[in-house]
A and B are shown apart, each in its own frame.
Chain A
Amino acid sequence: MLDTGVRQFRMAMGMVWGRRLSPRNIGLLVNDVIATIAEFGEPGEEAQEVLGGPLGSAEDRLEWANRGVNRTARRLAAKSPFYARRFAAVAADPAKLDVAGLRAIPVTTKQDLIEASADFRCSDVAPCLVTRTTGTTGRPAEVWLSRYEMELWPALGALTSVLRGELKPGDVMQVNVSSRATASTHLAATSCRLAGAMCRLLGILPPDESLDSLTQGGATLLLTVPSYLAELVHAARRRGLGPGDFRLRRVTVGGEVLSPHLAEAACQTLGVPLIEDPYSMTEVIPVTGRTCSHRHLHHDVNIGLTERLDLRTGEPAEAGALATLVITPYFPYRDCAPVFRFDTRDVVRCLPDGPLGCELAGIPATSQILGKADHLLHLGDGVVVTPRQLVDAIEALPAQPWPARYRAMADDGQLRLVLPAVAIAGIGEAAARRHLAEALGGLDVDLAIVDDDQARTLRPTRSDLRETTFASEPVLVGA
């Protein structure tokens, strides 16, 4: 107990003073949490404060953010060639930079990261691993990680997970994300190791193989992407599998929009109470967001700053407006190739001012991610259709066409939607049009139907990053 107190103190001091944290110390704290849960059944009250939050008041959060921004900016000005140039170009004094002064610094785009990847690397840190983004939005960006980061993030992740009961000794986590998502898979595997859980890294395999592993391997946790979850649900239903065939207690997805209909179907089939849908992005690791029961997305305030910038003006967005998330991970949580004011282009809607009324009400929130900014459809007169609206509407069709495959465009103020034939199976085009119009708030939908073999070309999903196995693919014979 005494040594636990010392470890907590060390971690707290590191967070307060902004010095590098000891991953080993945090790993030992994970052991302490596990021992605490083994003895008492759960951590003590206010265990979440060990993680540094939630910061109670807006003033506290602003003070914390000012210190984090200033500390990060000073380091980047001295160590990061890209940001040294950027700050100099706008004559910004990093020593005086705070949240109020951030607007003077241009946002960092993914294009910056792609074109000048090497310049993001800080001169005082040895890179250890490069990870590539695996999104479906275009060219991948590379993010360099240091050994410190590779040890720190899983340790923080494991500590958070065991404190919240999300990860326990004896758990078996099955990971069905692309094997090229090295940051994600490394985090999962190492967090499991620290928490005394097992980890099965499968990748995006043919769904039946993953289902075999889920049912026979005793997985209790599943980490995947919504589109692959959809394929698993389809495969499970086809095979007649139900809740009794799985030992799952948690399913977590990320990286894509998860529709309520798919989530509900997955819960019924896999036998879990809910599908967790947190927010994370390779470029801004380890800053994350959590979805509450009211489907708000609550943004981490302890290890990074999340700004909501109006899509049109680039200024802080008003309540009710659409905004892009611009994220700055603080030092010491990123040290190798940090980003500063990274424009994720992930769009959210700002919530109305006032109390949130959810279990995470103390943490700032927005709507869930509505899609990428470049995928918004502007129909005129201020009408905007988001990818989330489209996915929700299409995945609610009676044919259950999961994952939603569509192509959408604005055509002279009208929404033009292309769907594969399977999406409207059983109800016909007219009924589908009515369904979609109703789901999209009365919008007039110009619907076009294409053959099913074109479905994948309409909208790529992460489940398309399919990995082959000798078990599922014909084996070449001979030379």
Chain B
Amino acid sequence: MPATTEPISLLQQTLTEFGVLVVGVTLVISGALLYFRRVRMERPPIGTFNGRDIVILLLFISVLPFLYGYLPYWIITCLLIVTFSSALYIGYHQVLGRGWTWLGIGLLIGLNYWTSHHLMGTTAGWQLWWAELTILVGLGAISVSNLYVQGGMRLQLVAWLALGLAVYDIVFATLLPLTDQLVAGYLAHPLDPLLGMRFGIDNYGVGLGDLLVYSLFLIACYKAYGAKAARIAYGLILVMGAFVTAFIPFLGNFVDTQLDLLIPSQALFGPAAFGCYLWMKRRWGPERTMAQYLASADAAPAAPAAVPARLAPGPAPEPASEPASV
């Protein structure tokens, strides 16, 4: 007989959310940095991530909530399968080989699809679903952030992206409150782009978009200015992305129409990241190019790409920035 779980206090929720954020965010951004130091991704023969890509990315992200809102779930699921498969394949086929990568992608996506339909009646089932989804989303964030930065995305562009997403989060959390509908509406569906865990009757999570921006910021700082900048980035991400995000409900009302706590975390992180970038630029000067980074002592010997790039991979579609708490 399942244990009855009572609603818990805001402080308990906040502390739990903080724990989930610290663990989840730290694991993902550390994984992204480790990947950046150890693995050299294939890159297109010509092309580097530029400002136009940021604009296109932001436009795409802005359109995404409407697509989520109006498209049938099965189409969204198909889009997410394509997105995750692409992200994971691009990121890991040169590490694991093509066969193992496709096998892993199939298992992760297949298991997530199955658990979404068969194990959601119990807390343990939810937790298995969250754990499995967390692996999928975390690996996706590590892969895509590296694809962007190793593709030439400079810290300057990451900072502008974070600022753009801050505006996005504010708009879609307040003026056009679609985010909460999306989160609540799509929760428990296959490949929900969230990382998190369930405790009792509450789900705690952070969106893939947030993880992606944190990972981008950390590895772009490391690439641009080295370990000293990465340490600052770590601190900023954990303070703004975990501590402030988790505890800000004490300062304002973030309860949405579904009575969920929904924190537009990029609204907090974006301006801070942009300010941090400006400070670093002023203190340390121009950021390093990828070539300069690779020639520096910061670059660990990397696993070379096993398969030469045949097609110029464009930036993978980025999932919508998700709220920090659901």
State whether B46 touches A40 (Cβ < 8 A). Answer: no
Residue of A nearest to B52 (CB): A3
Size range of the chain A interface in the assembly: 20 to 34
Which residues of chain B are within 8 angstroms of A3 by Cβ–Cβ distance?
Answer: 50, 52-53
State whether B53 touches A1 (Cβ < 8 A). Answer: yes
For B289-326 the 0/1 string (1 means CB < 8 A from A) is 11100100000000001001110101100000000000
For A4-17 the 0/1 string (1 means CB < 8 A from B) is 11001000000000
Q: Which of A46-54, A165-173, A334-342 contacts B (4 or more CB under 8 A)?
A: A46-54
For B39-62 the 0/1 string (1 means CB < 8 A from A) is 000111111111011001000000
B91 within 8 A of partner (CB): no
Which residues of chain B are within 8 angstroms of A42 by Cβ–Cβ distance?
Answer: 291
Which residues of chain B are within 8 angstroms of A371 by Cβ–Cβ distance?
Answer: none
A2 within 8 A of partner (CB): yes
Main secondary structure of the interface of A (DSSP, over half): helix
B200 within 8 A of partner (CB): no
A8 CA to B312 CA, complexed, in Å: 9
A-B contact count (CB 8 A): 85
For A117-131 the 0/1 string (1 means CB < 8 A from B) is 000000000000000
A266 within 8 A of partner (CB): no
A44 CA to B56 CA, complexed, in Å: 23
Q: Which of A31-39, A55-63, A140-148 contacts B (4 or more CB under 8 A)?
A: A31-39
State whether B46 touches A50 (Cβ < 8 A). Answer: yes
A3 CA to B151 CA, complexed, in Å: 14
Residue of B45, B53, B152 near A49 (CB, 8 A) is B45
Min distance, Cβ B144 to any Cβ of chain A, angstroms: 13
A32 CA to B151 CA, complexed, in Å: 13
A41 within 8 A of partner (CB): yes
State whether B48 touches A35 (Cβ < 8 A). Answer: yes
A29 within 8 A of partner (CB): yes
Min distance, Cβ A325 to any Cβ of chain B, angstroms: 31
State whether B48 touches A1 (Cβ < 8 A). Answer: yes
Main secondary structure of the interface of B (DSSP, over half): loop
A1 CA to B44 CA, complexed, in Å: 9
State whether B291 touches A44 (Cβ < 8 A). Answer: no
Min distance, Cβ A34 to any Cβ of chain B, angstroms: 10
A45-B45 in contact given A1-B152, A2-B56, A39-B289 (Cβ < 8 Å): yes
Which residues of chain B are within 8 angstroms of A304 by Cβ–Cβ distance?
Answer: none
A220 CA to B297 CA, complexed, in Å: 31
A289 within 8 A of partner (CB): no
Which residues of chain B are within 8 angstroms of A157 by Cβ–Cβ distance?
Answer: none
Which residues of chain B are within 8 angstroms of A46 by Cβ–Cβ distance?
Answer: 45, 308-310
State whether A2 touches B52 (Cβ < 8 A). Answer: yes
State whether A33 touches B46 (Cβ < 8 A). Answer: yes
A47 CA to B45 CA, complexed, in Å: 5
A401 within 8 A of partner (CB): no
A39-B46 in contact given A4-B312, A45-B308, A45-B309 (Cβ < 8 Å): no
State whether A32 touches B46 (Cβ < 8 A). Answer: yes
A43 within 8 A of partner (CB): yes
Residue of A5, A8, A40, A50 near B152 (CB, 8 A) is A40
State whether A40 touches B45 (Cβ < 8 A). Answer: no
State whether B44 touches A4 (Cβ < 8 A). Answer: yes
State whether A40 touches B56 (Cβ < 8 A). Answer: no
Residue of A2, A38, A41, A44 near B46 (CB, 8 A) is A44
State whether B151 touches A50 (Cβ < 8 A). Answer: no
Within 8 A of A (CB), among B22-44: 42-44
Min distance, Cβ B10 to any Cβ of chain A, angstroms: 43
A35-B50 in contact given A1-B152, A5-B314, A43-B45 (Cβ < 8 Å): yes
State whether B151 touches A1 (Cβ < 8 A). Answer: yes
A33 CA to B291 CA, complexed, in Å: 14
Which residues of chain A are within 8 angstroms of B305 by Cβ–Cβ distance?
Answer: 45
Which residues of chain A are within 8 angstroms of B290 by Cβ–Cβ distance?
Answer: 39-41
Which residues of chain A are within 8 angstroms of B315 by Cβ–Cβ distance?
Answer: 1-2
Residue of A nearest to B56 (CB): A2
Which residues of chain B are within 8 angstroms of A29 by Cβ–Cβ distance?
Answer: 46
A282 CA to B34 CA, complexed, in Å: 55
Which residues of chain A are within 8 angstroms of B47 by Cβ–Cβ distance?
Answer: 1, 4-5, 8, 32, 36
Which residues of chain A are within 8 angstroms of B289 by Cβ–Cβ distance?
Answer: 38-41
A45 CA to B312 CA, complexed, in Å: 10
A44-B152 in contact given A1-B50, A2-B56, A39-B291 (Cβ < 8 Å): no
A1 CA to B53 CA, complexed, in Å: 6
Which residues of chain B are within 8 angstroms of A40 by Cβ–Cβ distance?
Answer: 43, 48, 152, 289-291
Min distance, Cβ A3 to any Cβ of chain B, angstroms: 6
Min distance, Cβ B190 to any Cβ of chain A, angstroms: 28
Contacts A/B (CB < 8 Å), 18 sampled: A1-B53, A1-B312, A2-B315, A3-B52, A32-B46, A33-B46, A35-B48, A36-B45, A40-B290, A43-B46, A44-B43, A45-B42, A45-B305, A45-B309, A46-B45, A46-B308, A47-B45, A49-B45
List 5 additional A-B contacts (Cβ < 8 Å) besides A1-B151, A32-B48, A33-B46: A2-B52, A5-B44, A40-B48, A46-B45, A49-B45
